Amino acid sequence: MKRTWQISTVTEAARARITTARVATAYGVPPMERTRLATALSARLRRCLTKGGAWRLTLTADRGSLRVEVAASPADGEPPWFATVPCPESTAATVCDTVTGDADALSEALLGADEDTALVLERLAEQEELVAFHREELHQTNQGVLALHADLDAAGRAQREAFAAERAARREAENARRRLTFLADASAALTASLNPEEIVRRLPDLLVPEYARTVDVWLFDSENERSPSVPRPSAAVLAARTGRPQYAAAQPGGLPGVDDQPPSALRPTRPLLCVPLPTRRAPLGVLTLTPPGDRWNPDDAVMLLELTRRAGSALDNARRFEHNRDIAETLQRALLTDLPTTAGLRLAARYLPATYGLNIGGDWYDAFRQPDGSLITVIGDVTGHGLHAAVMMSQLRTALRAYAVDGGSPGVLLTRLHTFLHHLQPDLYATAVIARFQPGEPVLTWAAAGHPPPVLRGPDGRVRTLDAKPGAMLGIPLHQEIHDHTEPLEPGSTLALYTDGLVERRALGIDLGIERLAATLGAFPAEELDADLDGAAERILDPMLSDSERDDDVCLLLCHIDSLLGGEIASHVRTRS
């Protein structure tokens, strides 16, 4: 709805105002909003009449609102005046917008317009009564305000004291959280390394400058050495001998769990906190700290004692790890076999330890002759890593050689190893492949127990996976007899025995790795395998182990039948670590 009036006289202005009020009523504008609209419109029309000239009033009802606009007619450059009120009902009711000029009609319209004013006055009277009531209530309340001032002041003081105590408690809680966070992060940093030198290097970086100005780590070379080779503060020597933390300063430190001592002659002006690095048996050394300020906060000192305890445990674990690793590595390398020299048969082997963890596992290879002249080649893998796996690998290797003295095919030997391992270590398992080469017979006899299948390359470069049904893992709690399998051997054939560390990757699986090994082996020219089998083994490892990090050991044993089947051919072993 849109309506327009031309206004140049008081009568036309009155008629337009009356019609606007009627339209607002018809469209459901609330009385208060109608009154405000009528008052604002009347004020605007009075200004327009005072200014003189012709004016245009436009009334528009659209989308739930009623808009009134007053503008000069014609436009004189002055922006129009407008007002907008909501129309809750948005009805399109018929509105009589014709107001005659006789006195009766204008009087009736004036009386009708006063209804809204009466409503406003009624609301105003209610508000005045409410204000009077509250004024009386406030007057009565003020009589007791002065009596409450003392209580309010006391309550304010108590509240301020409570706020101060809360802030102090919050600061203390934040400091405690900061110490615990630092202790957790520092502990993680220390235990993340199994290198004692690295742990010692990290201690100053963790503590300086927040918790210490200087950090000195005195490590004993042996468990019985407590006398320093260089001058040490007397408090540090006492801490080494007694195993108790010592605090050396001119004034007692009052630190929990710490003994007070006189100032150090080496550093008389600076307090020293000397804390042993404890282990289950005896301290590994002493940590000597100077405070970042004049002295330590007692809570910080308690945190430093706990951190030193954890650093001692980390150092002890690292030293144990290095000790076990050295023993296992020595044992592992002592058991690497010098491959025998066999006419018409070339052998080449590679062993690579894992780059994670203890670096020593249960992977092994071996090659030896039986009394009848047959050559036994074997590759196996004991579950687990570390010294225990290396010891069990050694026992299996020795047992296999002992069983082979009595003869027996690969399947018989594996069956005996299975029984041996089950009775020796019921909770330990192993996998293995044994291949037997007999002089003068172009036949390969082999057997497998839970191990990845051998890969056989023919002289024409075709590669096959020997995937005949293998036996179960060695040592599992069931009776089994592992059977032999045979394959014809032509001059120029190459057999590859390997452990899963060569072909298995977590993201790819083992089947893809075996396919890659077969493709790599098949790509070699026959002449290269005849001339340099040792170099071929090296060139097989390069593409198979392109990633520098390995979480398992790798063993590879190549057995190549000489194309000419003649002469004594030397075999070589080179182990790369």
- 40-59 tens-digit pLDDT: 888 888 888 888 889 989 98
Q: Are residues 370 and 471 in the same domain?
A: yes
Q: Are residues 394 and 533 in the same domain?
A: yes
pLDDT exceeds cutoff 90 at 193? no
Q: How many residues does the chain have?
A: 577
**Does residue 522 form part of some domain?**
yes
Q: Are residues 536 and 436 in the same domain?
A: yes
Q: Are residues 400 and 282 in the same domain?
A: no
**Does residue 407 form part of some domain?**
yes
The pLDDT confidence band at residue 290, using thresholds 50, 70 and 90, is very high
Average pLDDT, rounded, for the chain: 84
pLDDT at 226: 53
pLDDT at 279: 84
pLDDT at 570: 35
210 SS3 class: coil
Task: Return the CATH number at 417.
Answer: 3.60.40.10
Q: Are residues 391 and 485 in the same domain?
A: yes
Lowest mean pLDDT among 332-336, 412-416, 485-489: 332-336
Residue ending a domain, among 276, 308, 330, is: 330
Q: Token pair for residue 522?
A: 């098949």
pLDDT exceeds cutoff 90 at 506? no
Q: What is the pLDDT of residues 146-181, one digit of tens each?
A: 677 778 888 888 888 888 888 888 888 888 898 899
Euclidean distance between CA atoms 387 and 522, whole angstroms: 37
Residue ending a domain, among 298, 330, 362, is: 330
Euclidean distance between CA atoms 97 and 102, whole angstroms: 15
The pLDDT confidence band at residue 577, using thresholds 50, 70 and 90, is very low
pLDDT at 275: 94
pLDDT exceeds cutoff 70 at 102? no
The pLDDT confidence band at residue 120, using thresholds 50, 70 and 90, is confident
Euclidean distance between CA atoms 224 and 236, whole angstroms: 16
**Letter for the amino acid at 95?**
V
**Would you list the DSSP string of 535-560?**
HHHHHHHHHHT-SS--SS-EEEEEEE
Q: Are residues 342 and 284 in the same domain?
A: no
pLDDT exceeds cutoff 70 at 359? no
Above pLDDT 70, what percent of the chain?
A: 87
pLDDT exceeds cutoff 60 at 224? no
**Does residue 185 form part of some domain?**
no
The pLDDT confidence band at residue 452, using thresholds 50, 70 and 90, is very high
- Higher per-residue confidence, 44 vs 546: 44
Number of H helices, E strands in the chain: 12, 20
Domain enclosing residue 450, as ranges: 335-573
Average pLDDT over residues 194-218: 90
pLDDT exceeds cutoff 70 at 223? no
pLDDT at 215: 92
| Residue indicated by tokens 């129009």 | 80
Euclidean distance between CA atoms 190 and 20, whole angstroms: 84
**Does residue 113 form part of some domain?**
no
Task: Count other Cβ atoms within 10 Å, centred on residue 468.
Answer: 15
Task: Return the CATH number at 258.
Answer: 3.30.450.40
Q: Are residues 357 and 322 in the same domain?
A: no
**Does residue 177 form part of some domain?**
no
Q: Are residues 311 and 339 in the same domain?
A: no
Contact 499, 382 (CB under 8 A): no
Lowest mean pLDDT among 50-54, 175-179, 199-203, 390-394: 390-394
Angle at which helices 298-334 and 387-405 cross, to 10°: 20
The pLDDT confidence band at residue 268, using thresholds 50, 70 and 90, is confident
**Does residue 486 form part of some domain?**
yes
Q: Are residues 295 and 368 in the same domain?
A: no
pLDDT at 166: 87
**Does residue 148 form part of some domain?**
no
**Does residue 189 form part of some domain?**
no
- Higher per-residue confidence, 117 vs 372: 372
Q: Are residues 346 and 322 in the same domain?
A: no
**Termini Cα distance of the chain:** 94
The pLDDT confidence band at residue 574, using thresholds 50, 70 and 90, is very low
- How many domains, in total, are found in the chain? 3
Q: Are residues 428 and 466 in the same domain?
A: yes
Instruction: Find which of 102-111, 184-193, 384-393 is predicted with most confidence, using mean pLDDT.
Output: 184-193
Q: Are residues 350 and 473 in the same domain?
A: yes
pLDDT at 446: 96
The pLDDT confidence band at residue 112, using thresholds 50, 70 and 90, is low
pLDDT at 65: 87
Residue ending a domain, among 295, 330, 365, is: 330
pLDDT at 425: 81
